[in-house]
Every structure is written in C-alpha cells, then in structure tokens.
Chains A and B, each alone.
Chain A
Amino acid sequence: MKFLHDLLDKQRPLFEKGGKFEKFYVLWEANETFLFKPALTAGDKGVQVRDAIDLKRMMMTVVIAMIPCLIWGIFNVGYQHYVATGEITEGGFAAFFNLDNLLFGARWVLPIVLASYVAGGLVEVTIGIIRKHPINEGFLVTGMLIPLIVPPTIPLWQVALATVFGVLVGKEIFGGTGMNILNVAMTARAFLYFAYPTDISGEVWTQLADKAPVDGYSGATALAIANDTSISGAGTVVDGLSQANSMLIAPFGGDFFSFQNMLIGGIPGSIGETSTLMALVGALILIATGVGSWKIIVSVFAGAFAMGTIFNLAGANEFMLVPAHYHFVFGGLAFGAVFMATDPVSASQTEIGKWIYGALIGMLTVLIRVVNPAYPEGIMLAVLFMNVFAPLIDFYVVQANKKRRLARATV
C-alpha cells in the first residue's frame, strides 16, 4: 500500500498552504486519513504512547451496531409491501428473508441512505472548508441514523433537506461535532415532523409503490391503533391491536400486532426502528464495546416501564391500562434508547446524570404517548427535551462534587 500513500503524498503540496487547491485541504486530509492512519507521533512532552482508539473507530462502531437494524429494515420494507398488497399469504423465515423483499426494500431504502450521506457530507465538507476544521467523522453516525428514523415513503428531497437542517442548525452553528446541544438526527426528524407533517405521520409507514392494499388494510402504526382503541372505548388496547390488520400474516407467527410480532419487528414503521430485537442486538454491540452507555440504555427502559406501571395504577383510560412492557415494543422507544439517547455529546456527561437523564427520557416518552393524543410517539420529543436538560442535570451533579471539596477547604 506504499505506492498509494506515495501517490497521496505527492498531491500534498497542491493542497497545503500556497498550493493550488489550498482551500480544499480538508478534503485531501479527509481522504488521506480515511485511507491511512496518519504518521502523527506524540509530542515532546506528555504521553509518548497513545491508546489505539480513534474517534473514527468509535463512530464506526456505532454504525456497525446499526447494521442489524438497517438490514432488518430493508427486508421489512419489502415484506410490508408484499404482505399489504396480498402477495404474501404465509409467514416463516423464507417469507421474510427472501430476495424479493431484499430487492424491494433496497430499492426504497438505499436511495434514502444515499440522500442523507450525500446531503450531509456536502454540508460537512463545505463547513470544513469555510471554517478550516477537519471533516467531522460524527457524520458517519448521523448519516446512517437519519434514514433509519424516517418512513420508507419519504420523498428524497425531504431527507436531504432535513439532513442539511439537522447538521447546520443541530450541530454546526454550535461549533461542530462535540459542541452540539441537540441530537443531530433527532433535530432532523423533528424538522421533518413539524415542517411536513403529512409526509411523516398517518398512513405513510408502508411503501405500497402505487399498488392497492388488500381490503380492510390499515397503514397505521401500533401506537395509533392503541390510541384509537382507547378513544373509541371498544375494549382493551391489546384486543384492538389483535383485531387490526388481522387478515395480514405476521412473519414469525402470532397476530399482526401481537407483542411477539412487534418485538421481532414485522410491522410497519420507520425503516430502522420496527424491530425491538434488532435494536437490542445493537445495544449489545454498543454495551460490549463500551461505546454506548449501558446506564442510559437501561434507565430509558426502566423509566418507560415505571411510567407504564404508574399509568396502569391510575387507569383513567384504556391506553393507560396497556401492559407496561408493551411500551418497549411500541414505536421507536428501543431504537431511540439505544442509538439516540446514548449520543455522548448531547446526553448527560456525568455517570449519575446518565441514570437520571435516561430514566426521564423513558418516562417522558410514555407520558407523551399516553397523554398527548395529537402525537402518539414520544421518544423523539423526549430525547430532544432531555438533551436540553442534560446540562442542568450535570450542573447539579458537578455542584455536589464542588461542595464536597469546599467542605474541606480551610480558607
């Protein structure tokens, strides 16, 4: 690989100060550091050896943890299409993991991934050139997160626009990676939700590709069905769920909106968030590698369960009476807990703070779901809300440390 490095090195003068393409140095640097770990050595003073970790590697770990969700999402987009249009009549492993589903899913999902990476990458490069800072590898993660939290029917221009908005307003105006207050991907999604609500709510979760669904098909998500059942007063939410789309086949057994199928993820929804199971696989990777905080992940689930139980006890309507563990498999809670809440920059930074931060996200999510019928999914707003409060939580945790220290001062 030496020739490749020599080739790159030969171009270096063009991009360095005084060179023809001096302005595009960051681009050249991004390329070089992507291909090669640079020959940087430790300074004269301070540590002379460094840990093998690198921010790029850390970010790639998160991307790798998202791959199960992405692959599941691709197959599921295909499955949901074929099952809704009546072409799949029996479930099973082969009915889900087959080439038709893969091709159909890839046809709709990959362009969204591409749109997000291209749009966001252009913003990163432009800002890098203007502000003369290296291109932030944080975007490796953001660029993958955004496609996973949008419906498969979303227009590509909206993906691009939301990504640009997320990166610019969510991150760059604060000074770039590491300085942002809000989670970038959630900012992008919130932008979509408030700017183009019709394209990201209602019956957008299945890519029908202009085909007619089977009779009696409802494109609503489990959360919307739960809410409708509760309002109409027709039995418990669990009953309502079991009646909805009952003619459709769940890929791995059970009713279409059974706990089991929602856990596995054979339901319509945003591309990457339907499968709680795959999110948990991602969680395992993040926790095993130590890249994601297990404290945050665990406390989000614990918070959601606690809030669900409190509502069970209150029991003012059917939605409140939903068994607390159903909240784990509804909507995007699991995906959000694993990949959004754990973003180290926007989360609480102290270890005690992480427990509080995670628990409040879980509680708020369920609170928004159950109490605010206008927008049944709560994880997005809960994460953004707690992003804003994370510094406050940290403030009090750090303040306690300061007080302990002050207590021993003599002057």
Chain B
Amino acid sequence: MSKTVKLKKGFDINLAGKAEKKIADNPPSETFAIKPTDFIGMKRPKLFVAEGDNVKAGTPVLYDKMQENAMICSPVSGEIVEVKRGAKRKILEVKILADKEIEYEQFPTFSVSDINGLSREDAQAQMLKGGVWPNIIQRPYGVVANENDTPKAIFISAFDSHPLAADFAFMLKGQDEAFKIGVEILKKFTDGKVHLNHNANAEVSTVFSGLEGIENNKFNGPHPAGNVGVQIHHVDPIGKGQIIWTVNPYGVAQIGKLFLEGKYDASKLVAVAGSEVSAPQYYKTYTGSGVAKLVEGNLKSDHVRYISGNVLTGERIANDGYVGFYDNLLSVIPEGDQPEFLGWIKPQKERLSFHRAWGLFSFLNGKNKEYALDSNTNGEPRAFVQTGEFEKVTPMDIYPTYLLKAIMSEDFDNMEALGIYEVIEEDLALCEFIDVSKHEIQSVVREGLELMQNG
C-alpha cells in the first residue's frame, strides 16, 4: 500500500551556490582515497594491499575484521601510493594514484532475465566480493548491514532534502536499467517490501518510475522529508529487535551495474556547491575523489571550509582531502573564524535563523532568499534551556531532548523506550543546527547508538 505523507515539521536551509545541472569538463582527480572512517561501525580495518601495489577498480583494498566478507574495493585502477595512518597506527586514508585508462576486475554478468533466477546467496556473494555491499546500511545504528540478517523491509529515498544536495535524478540519468536491476537484486534480501520514496513536490524521474513489485511512497514537506529515517518512521517504524536496510539511489545503481556489467563501477557525479564556488556544478569523477581538482580555479576566496557531504551532516576535510565514500557533494563555505563586535545582539538579516528572538530578522527575507552561511557557531555551548524547539524540526513522534538526556546519562532502558532505534545522526541534525545551547547533538546520538550496539 503506497502512501503519501505530508510533513509539516522541519526546516529548509536555503544556501547560496546550488550546483547547476551541468557537468564540468575538468579532468578527474589524479588521486583517490579510501577512508575506513567513512564506514561507521568499522572496528578493525585490515589492509589487503601495501604501498606500491597495483590494483584494478574492484580489487579489494581492505575489510573490517568484524565483518570479514564485505570487501572495500578500489574505485579506480592504479597504484597504492600511500597509507596514511594516525594515532595508534589507525588507518586514515589509503591513497591510490589512478591510471589514465581505468581497468576493471571482471565479475560474472547477468542479463535482465537471468536476474530472476539468481539466488540470494549468489547475489550476496557477488555483492560482498564486488565492493558494493557497504552501500547497504542497516537501521538501527546506521552501520553497514550484516549479510546474515533478513530485514523486514528495504527503504530507498529517491531524493535528498539536505542543503545543496545533489540531485539523484540528474546523477543517475541514463542508468535506468542499472537502477532497475539494483532494485531487483535488493528484493531478494527481504520477505517484506522494498520502498522507494519520492519527493511529492517534484516530478518523478524516469529512473525511479516504472519499477514493479515495490511500494512508491511520496513525501511532502521541508527537510528532513528526504531523510530515510523519517520516511521509515512514517511508513514502517522500527521497533525493538527489528531490522530495516536502507540504500541510497546511487548505491542501488552501483549494485545493478555489478550484475549488469560485471564491474565495480565507482564513477559518479559529485556536485561541487556552496557560496564560495564561482561556478557550482557537477563533476564526473570516482568515489573518494581528491578535492584539489574539483575546486581548481573555481573558488571565490581561499579562506574556506571544504565539507565532504552537506553542511548538516558532512565532515570537514582538508584542502588536500578526499570526498567520502557515501558523499556525492562537496560543499564549500566561508570559514567563520572572525569575532564580531556585539554579534550576539546585533540585528541581523543575513544570518539564517529558525528562531525569531530579538534582532533575528531572517524570517522577513522569505523562503527564496539564499544564504551564504559561514562555519561560525554563533555562540558558545550552554546547558539546555529552551524547550519545545527540537520537536518543531523533528517530524517524528519522538522527544529529542528526553532522548538526548537519556543518552547523556547512559540510561539504556530510556534510550530504547524513547526511540533510539529509529534515529541516526542525520535525523536529528536540524536540532543541532537550531540548538540555542550549541550542543553537539549528532555526536551524542552516535554515542547512544554505540552504547546500544556494544553495551
């Protein structure tokens, strides 16, 4: 039974510098990196390769000791040039210098009609080996799915409502077949349904239409309407002991291509966007692309912050850093490390606020005004004071403040009772944005999830 869900709560952060739907003709980055830290829940990454080794696209580079079958594969062919390690020899980045022509590891290919006859076990084996398994994220906890589980449903959000988010329909243009096969493969893993969730306010792209045997749900409302966690909450909420898998549309198409073309195809379009980008647009590159080439000659200033992903849930990366495994957006915003005289009380229209307290006049600008926000926190951390605000940006039947307090006090029973299984960081990211007391809410949520998972 497909559903249309209207969400009223939430908040759209309308940032300047949205990526234009065209593809830049820059040459792709020369180096790419795999960052074990991108894979949440990865405990003990083990390397298959050493510096100087040659790899093909699809050659396993590392795996997690706790989940030995799921390979993390090289996105490109080339040479391993550096294994960057941090404190306690923790692996931070495995850098690969790409060949001019990408060579691929070959996996078995299937025709569309073969796919039906393929068993779950065979599909699973190929996905684990072919590097596409980490696209499958398990709820609760938001970690890479365990191949031994059978989820009660699989959710795909066909749109991203985060600020400056890349448009999946544009990214996957012409990949209808791959997406379709990806969905067919995913169907094998659940006895329940595969849900594909659309933005009710936009036309459904051909990539996401005409799929059979799945549920098409529509979501209407401000961000976080595109968050798969919010969608699950309204369509098929997770209770204790239940498991749901989520995959983003890029991941679905990548799974499809592994079976259709027999290769781990890590090529992707990455949106480079934000107020500091001169010509925000899409770049054709591969997973784990180096930042330098993406922004070369395309910046308005050099005092900027690079963010792999969006400004709500992303991670700051260095100017010689790499875009993360799951990200298809590089946000570039001004660094906000300047003090502002009486900035705490000065009337402002240019700094976006969800609130309307004294002097915060951004609400007068209307919804179409685009903001160039910097990374300043606009205040210092304080104890929780204001109440009732988090609920306004959380379109779920959850009390965020109570949940956060339960996590902070490591109260397992209450965390569970208050709905920790239904959220991951991104679902409460807006709370962190609007928080008067400037808490690091997303990291609190992750702490809670880790406590629940590992005790």
Chain A interface (Cβ within 8 Å of chain B)? Answer: 1, 4-5, 33-58, 60-61, 64, 134, 136-138, 175-179, 288-291, 293, 344-345, 347, 349-351, 354, 398, 401-402, 404-406, 408-411
- Number of cross-chain contacts by CB at 8 Å: 224
Residue B41 interfacial (CB < 8 Å):
no
Q: Do A51 and B435 have beta carbons less than 8 Å apart? A: yes
Given contacts A138-B385, A398-B402, contact A51 B352 (CB under 8 A): yes
Q: Do B358 and A53 have beta carbons less than 8 Å apart? A: no
Shortest beta-carbon distance, A6 to chain B, in Å? 10
Cross-chain pairs A/B with CB under 8 angstroms, 15 sampled: A40-B379, A41-B337, A41-B376, A45-B442, A46-B429, A50-B376, A50-B433, A51-B353, A51-B378, A52-B360, A53-B354, A54-B379, A178-B437, A290-B355, A349-B401
A401 CA to B307 CA, complexed, in Å:
36
Chain B binding surface SS class: loop
Shortest beta-carbon distance, B18 to chain A, in Å? 15
Q: Do A410 and B375 have beta carbons less than 8 Å apart? A: no
Nearest A residue to B433 by beta-carbon distance? Answer: A47
Nearest A residue to B391 by beta-carbon distance? Answer: A351
Which of these, A36, A58, A404, contacts B339 with CB under 8 Å? Answer: A36
Given contacts A47-B432, A61-B358, contact A55 B340 (CB under 8 A): no
Given contacts A48-B307, A53-B353, contact A41 B377 (CB under 8 A): yes
Nearest A residue to B309 by beta-carbon distance? Answer: A48
Residue B242 interfacial (CB < 8 Å):
yes
Q: Do A289 and B399 have beta carbons less than 8 Å apart? A: no
Q: Do B357 and A57 have beta carbons less than 8 Å apart? A: yes
Taking CB atoms, residues of chain A closer than 8 Å to B398 are 401
- List 12 additional A-B contacts (Cβ < 8 Å) besides A48-B305, A52-B352: A42-B375, A46-B442, A47-B311, A49-B373, A49-B374, A50-B433, A50-B438, A56-B345, A176-B383, A405-B418, A408-B237, A410-B241
Taking CB atoms, residues of chain B closer than 8 Å to A38 are 339, 377, 380
Q: Do B419 and A405 have beta carbons less than 8 Å apart? A: yes
Q: Do A46 and B343 have beta carbons less than 8 Å apart? A: no
Sorting the interface of chain B by its residue count into under 10, 10 to 19, 20 to 34 or 35 or more gives: 35 or more
Interface residues of B in 369-417 (CB under 8 A from A): 373-380, 382-388, 391, 397-399, 401-402, 417
Chain B interface (Cβ within 8 Å of chain A)? Answer: 13, 237, 239-242, 305, 307, 311-316, 331, 333, 335-345, 348, 351-360, 362, 373-380, 382-388, 391, 397-399, 401-402, 417-419, 425, 429, 432-438, 440-443
Shortest beta-carbon distance, A382 to chain B, in Å? 20
Q: Do B383 and A178 have beta carbons less than 8 Å apart? A: yes
Nearest A residue to B305 by beta-carbon distance? Answer: A48
Q: Do B376 and A40 have beta carbons less than 8 Å apart? A: yes
A293 CA to B391 CA, complexed, in Å:
14
Shortest beta-carbon distance, B150 to chain A, in Å? 14
Which of these, B240, B314, B331, B418, contacts A409 with CB under 8 Å? Answer: B240
Which of these, B241, B383, B437, contacts A179 with CB under 8 Å? Answer: B383
A302 CA to B313 CA, complexed, in Å:
43
A37 CA to B312 CA, complexed, in Å:
22
